[in-house]
Amino acid sequence: MELHLVINGRKDLAAQLYQQLREAIAAGRLSAGAQLPPSRLLAEQLGVSRKTVSDTYATLTYEGLLVGRIGRGTFVNAWAHQPDRVQTAADLACAANLGKWAALPSPMHHPTPDRTLRYEFIGGATTRNQFPQDEWRRCTQDALRRIAQHNGFYSQPEGLPALREAIAGHIAFSRGVKCHADDIVVTNGAQQALDLITRVVVEPGTLVAMEDPGYSPARQLFMAMGACVADVPVDSQGIEVDKIPDGTRLIYVTPSHQFPLGMPMSLARREALLARAFALGAIIIEDDYDSDFRYEGRPANSLQSMDTRGLVAYVGTFSKSLLPELRLGYAVLPPAIHSAVLKAKQLTDQHSSTLPQWALAKFINEGYLLKHIRRCHAVYAGRRERILQRLAGDLSPWFEAVPSVIGFHMAALCKVPLDIALLRRLAREAEVGLYPLDVFFHTAPMRQGLTIGFGAIELLDIDPALDRVRDILLQMS
């Protein structure tokens, strides 16, 4: 890589070179320890004599900015770079706005690979052992061939037609969603889909209603956009529709698998929600985040499939059925907001990466996705059953499970007062990752408990992990 220096004319060549190198070191563009090109090579690059470069190096070395190492070359001295005082957030004119962002909590951060515990009950994570590496590799190789045949232009903001067609077929088959490929926008995970819809519907002061307890990243997004969030309580049938306030413009719900408690929204409540949204002129975001996995009872169609007035924006993701790192999601948009969301998508990132889009389109069309979901369903069902047995058995003095028939996390409510923070800390020392339920409550009466994810823990690890939790609970009693 060439060192970026510019020499103008033929006058004062050594002075020009000296000044530019000195400024590059002072500004940090040449960082401490960086090796400079050999004098002969830099002289050829700049079209000057080697003596000019050598003399400049010698001057900077005398000043302590460079250091020569015999047999190795010339390097920027580790003590040479003394940057000016860097502005802090408090120094900036936008300090108040930065403070609002900094104050947003982050309750759902996944652990980094180096901080993952031996036993993890985190929600929203999948087991890498179940990921179909060979099938995905074949699809990715096909995607690379397709990209090589294209002209190198940007792609469509709404996503590749092949993937949108594949998604439309998949969700019509599995969730009863009524849509065409043209209704779909491919996004970088469900979170971007939420962001795009919020951008075009919400402005500062807009009233947004959501479940309480509810999905914290959605709440934080709405607040970051300047919305006023109305917390609507939930019961065994889902969101209490009659408590959605007048003036609400956007309603966020998780009807198939209420987050975090897990119960589905009843048919009567769904009908009431659609009627209430129509009366308000509000858009409903239906976050259908993990409904590919159902273990009991009859399947329930999506809320979107009941919508006859164009009120529901259906948001889905492949993070739960495949891998979170793929960052592939989508939104099925009602006609009223479709073009606005497309413009927001184009302004945000132009379009999602086409390599995983081509790969996923083939993955779905070849039947690999459905096969993978069926395989994971059997795996998750076994893990779920074992956790339920333990919660109904030796862990029953402390916890009871909230009935849930979908997804790969469940809520366990405390039956007796517990110091959840202490339990988590002691469990972490025993290499068990536990995650609290109370962080998802805002104004609703807080319920103590745990969210127990079983996507990332192997079946044979469940009993050893819960044995450790039981022993800790006995010590705390």
Cα separation values, 248 from 173, 196, 228, 245, 364, Å: 32, 18, 9, 6, 37
pLDDT in tens, 220-266: 999 999 999 999 999 999 999 999 999 999 999 999 999 999 999 99
Write a three-state SS string for 165-221: HHHHHHHHHHHCCCCCHHHEEEECHHHHHHHHHHHHHCCCCCEEEEEECCCHHHHHH
Give the span between the Cα atoms of 314 and 67, in whole angstroms: 61
Neighbour-count burial for 150-186, b at 16+ CB within 10 Å, e otherwise: eeeeebbbbbbebbbbbbbebbeebbebbbebebbbb
CATH 3.40.640.10 residue window(s) in the chain: 132-366
Q: What is the pLDDT of residue 153?
A: 84
Cα–Cα distance measured from residue 37 to residue 46, given in angstroms and rounded to the nearest whole number: 12
Which of the pair, 97 or 286, is modelled with greater confidence? 286
pLDDT above 70 for 101: yes
The residue ranking higher by pLDDT, 2 or 234, is 234
Closest alpha carbon to 444 in 257, 239, 249: 239
Residues of the chain with CATH 1.10.10.10: 13-76
Per CATH, the architecture of 13-76 is what? Orthogonal Bundle (1.10)
The answer to whether the bond into 213 is cis (omega within 30° of 0) is: yes
Query: Any idea which fold 132-366 has?
Result: Aspartate Aminotransferase; domain 2 (3.40.640)
Band of the pLDDT at 125, cuts 50, 70, 90? Answer: confident
The predicted-structure confidence for 54-67, as pLDDT tens digits, reads as follows 999 999 998 889 99
Q: Which candidate, 298, 299, 307, 229, places its Cα nearest to that of 273?
A: 307
Report whether pLDDT(346) > 80: yes
Global pTM reads 0.83
Range scoring the smallest mean pLDDT among 87-91, 354-358, 415-419: 87-91
Q: Is the pLDDT of residue 130 over 90?
A: no
pLDDT at position 152 is: 77
Give the integer Cα–Cα distance in Å for 190 and 309. Answer: 23
Structure tokens given for 406: 């979908």
Q: Whose CA is closest to 188, among 365, 340, 337, 357?
A: 357
Indicate the pLDDT class of residue 110, thresholds 50, 70 and 90.
Answer: confident
Residue 7: the pLDDT is 76
More confident residue, 79 or 371: 371
Which of 66, 102, 59, 96 lies closest to 81, judged by CA? 66
Distance, in Å, from the CA atom of 155 to the CA atom of 161, rounded to the nearest integer, reads 10
| 394: pLDDT strictly greater than 70 | yes
User: Which has the closest alpha carbon to 362: 132, 133, 138, 134?
Assistant: 138
Return mean pLDDT, the chain.
91
Give the SS3 label for residue 164.
helix
pLDDT of residue 150: 79
pLDDT at 410: 94
State how beta strands 409-414 and 312-317 pair: unpaired
Query: Which residue ranges does the chain devote to CATH 3.90.1150.10?
Result: 113-126+371-476
Q: How far is CA 454 from its chain centroid? A: 19
User: What are 398-425's pLDDT values in tens digits?
Assistant: 999 998 888 889 999 999 999 999 999 9
Helix (H) or strand (E) holding 469: helix 459-476
Mean pLDDT computed over 71-82? 79
**Percent of the chain scoring above 70 in pLDDT:** 97
* pLDDT grade for 2, boundaries at 50, 70 and 90: low
Mean pLDDT (whole number) for 170-184: 94
Q: Is the dihedral of CA 370, 186, 125, 293 positive or negative?
A: negative
Architecture of domain 113-126+371-476: Alpha-Beta Complex (3.90)
Which residues have CB under 8 Å from 329's CB, separation 6+? 186, 187, 188, 189, 190, 191, 192, 193, 315, 316, 317, 318, 319
pLDDT-based confidence at 46, cuts 50/70/90?
confident
pLDDT band at residue 14 using 50, 70 and 90 as cut-offs: confident
Q: Indicate whether 29 pLDDT > 70.
A: yes
Task: With CA atoms as reference, report the closest residue to 432 among 455, 462, 396.
Answer: 462
Q: pLDDT-derived band of residue 81, with 50, 70 and 90 as boundaries? A: low
Say which residue, 351 or 128, is predicted with more confidence.
Answer: 351
Percent of the chain with pLDDT over 90: 69
Is pLDDT at 82 greater than 80 in this prediction? no
Closest listed residue to residue 352, CA positions, set 199, 462, 192, 115: 192
Cβ–Cβ < 8 Å for 125, 324: yes
Give me the pLDDT at residue 83, please: 55
| Alpha carbon distance 293, 300 (integer Å) | 12
Query: Is 440's pLDDT higher than 80?
Result: yes
Phi first, then psi, for residue 299 (nearest 5°) are -65, 145
Window from 71-75, 379-383, 394-398 with minimum mean pLDDT: 71-75
Structure confidence at residue 108 (pLDDT): 67
pLDDT range class, residue 284, cuts 50, 70, 90: very high
